Structure 1
Amino acid sequence: MTERRIRIGLQLQPQHADYDAIRRTASAAEDLGADIIFNWDHFYPLYGDPDGKHFECWTMLGAWAESTSRVEIGALVTCNSYRNPELLADMARTVDHISGGRLILGIGSGWFEKDYDEYGYEFGTAGGRLDDLAESLPRIESRLAKLNPAPTRKIPVLIGGGGEKKTLKLVAKHGDIWHGFGDPEVVGRKVKILDQHCADVGRDPAEIERSCGVQGEPDELGPQLLELGVTTFTVGVGGPDYDLGALEKWIAWREKNQS
């Protein structure tokens, strides 16, 4: 496995808060030393008041591209169903330029049925949404290659999800970063399956960065996930009062363990 540096991410959930608080929190996380700041791609809160305050994902990423200067930014993750893949590629290229090459293109197949129903998208089935993602990823890659001006760099594609037959196969084919969830036992199983999918398509698994959402104490959880090849650790925080205490702990752990 290629040696990668430890990176700490924050998923700044755009729910139950005014935008001023979201912007201040993004700046504070950058000042604390976060490596990546993610939002998410939903239209309604995922917990708390289901009709509480909420903001749109990609408009916010464009604003973060201007209001931050060092951190990478991205969605954890964009819902493939909500935007034409060519349009999404153009949006990503534009935010890439606005940010000076700091965008991560996080994408997944989508799952939150209320978003689909309220905004008029066809929910379909989980398998159908994954098939749509499989069709969209090559279209995104093709459009990125045609755009003028081109992206400032090869925009990293992060694919989120743990589906062992379809999602991890898409990661092996198209992903630069895999993002998953779960305890070390679950993550370990997924990593082995991802490695096998890479072997099946003739790809070196070391090319794919492994990322994980984390809860709990970094001194306990961090070494176990590092042993599995995970090098990016992301904590989530929701509004209205964004508490960055867990982020500070993980950044301190990174500083102790960075090779």
Structure 2
Amino acid sequence: MTSRPVRIAVQIQPQHASYDQIRDALRRAEDLGVDVAFNWDHFFPLTGDPDGLHFECWTMLAAWAEQTSRIQLGALVTCNSYRNPDLLADMARTVDHISDGRLILGIGSGWFEKDYDQYGFDFKTAGRRLDDLAAALPRIESRLAALNPPPVGPMPVLIGGGGEKKTLRLVAQHANIWHTFADAEVLEHKVEVLRGHCDAVGRPMDDIEISVGVGGRGRDGGLPGEPGAEGEPLLKLGARLFTIPIAGPEFDLSTVEHWVAWRDRVNA
């Protein structure tokens, strides 16, 4: 089992809030001691008023890179369909320099059909979107290697999703971080599938940090779980990055405080 430390992330949802409120939430999150701040890559709200306030992902990440000094930053996750892969690599490299090497390049195949329809992208099928991601990842890696100057830091690649045949194979081949929303029962199975893909491509499983979404309200509207009760089973299965969603306009960090305190106890 990997000895990497537990880390806490927030996903600051870029919807239903002014940019001043989003910027303040990021400041408070960094002051609280979180390790990573994510946004997401969509063009319209995913919950609440479908025509509510919403902001774009990558221009926001550039601003976050200037605003912060310690935490890592990234999209959870960039939609591969929305940008030319070589352009995305250049964008990521630039934000990495603005942040002095703190960018996580989160990427996935995309899923929100409204984005595609409203912005003129071809939605295709889930399988074809994953095939496009598989073709894009080597292009991104090649462009990053060719850029002058290169990225400042190692720029870890995060891939989100749990598809067992294609997505987890791409994780084994390309990712430094794998993100999932699986509970402990599902995670146990997915980890073994990922381990099989790692074995097949000749890569140590411990090279990949496992990130799990936690701490949000459930589908039934219930309250988030207590960090120890929710986190410990995931921790035993290898999860080390725990990501809590926070929603505007209030961006309440009280749940995040409990997860940060739990992290500190586990890492002590």
Same fold (TM over 0.5): yes
Residue equivalent to 1:222: 231
Residue equivalent to 2:54: 54
State how far apart, in whole Å, the 1-side matches of 2:209 and 2:169 are.
15
3-state SS of the aligned residue for 1:159? strand
TM-score when scaled to structure 1?
Answer: 0.99
State how far apart, in whole Å, the 1-side matches of 2:232 and 2:248 are.
29
**Structure 1 letter corresponding to 2:244:** V
Residue equivalent to 1:128: 128
3-state SS of the aligned residue for 2:20? helix
**Structure 2 letter corresponding to 1:249:** H
Shift of 1:2: 2.6
**Structure 2 letter corresponding to 1:253:** W
| Poorly superposed stretches of 4+, deviation over 6 Å | none
Cα displacement string for residues 184-226 of structure 1 (whole angstroms, at most 9, x for unaligned residues): 0011111110000000111111100000000321110111011
Shift of 1:182: 1.9
Residue equivalent to 2:161: 161
Residue equivalent to 1:240: 249
**Structure 2 letter corresponding to 1:110:** G
Cα displacement string for residues 62-100 of structure 1 (whole angstroms, at most 9, x for unaligned residues): 000000110000000000000000000000000000000
Cα displacement string for residues 154-189 of structure 1 (whole angstroms, at most 9, x for unaligned residues): 210000000011000000000000000121001111
- Whether the 8 Å CA contact 2:8–2:36 is kept in 1: the answer is yes
TM-score when scaled to structure 2?
Answer: 0.96
State how far apart, in whole Å, the 2-side matches of 1:168 and 1:118 are.
29
Cα displacement string for residues 215-259 of structure 1 (whole angstroms, at most 9, x for unaligned residues): 321110111011000000000011111111111110010111114
Cα displacement string for residues 11-54 of structure 1 (whole angstroms, at most 9, x for unaligned residues): 00000000000000000000000000000000000000001000
**Which segments of 5 or more consecutive residues in structure 1 lack a partner in the other structure?**
none
3-state SS of the aligned residue for 1:255? helix
Alignment of 1:87-126 (within 5 A): 87-126=87-126
Residue equivalent to 1:181: 181
- Whether the 8 Å CA contact 2:9–2:244 is kept in 1: the answer is yes
State how far apart, in whole Å, the 2-side matches of 1:208 and 1:88 are.
22
Q: What is the total number of aligned residue pairs between the two structures?
A: 259
Residue equivalent to 1:253: 262
**Structure 2 letter corresponding to 1:74:** G
State how far apart, in whole Å, the 2-side matches of 1:78 and 1:149 are.
23
State how far apart, in whole Å, the 2-side matches of 1:51 and 1:188 are.
38
Cα displacement string for residues 94-140 of structure 1 (whole angstroms, at most 9, x for unaligned residues): 00000000000000000000000000000010000000000000000
Residue equivalent to 2:65: 65
3-state SS of the aligned residue for 1:24? helix
Q: CA RMSD, aligned part only?
A: 0.6
3-state SS of the aligned residue for 1:233? strand
Residue equivalent to 2:41: 41
State how far apart, in whole Å, the 2-side matches of 1:153 and 1:252 are.
28
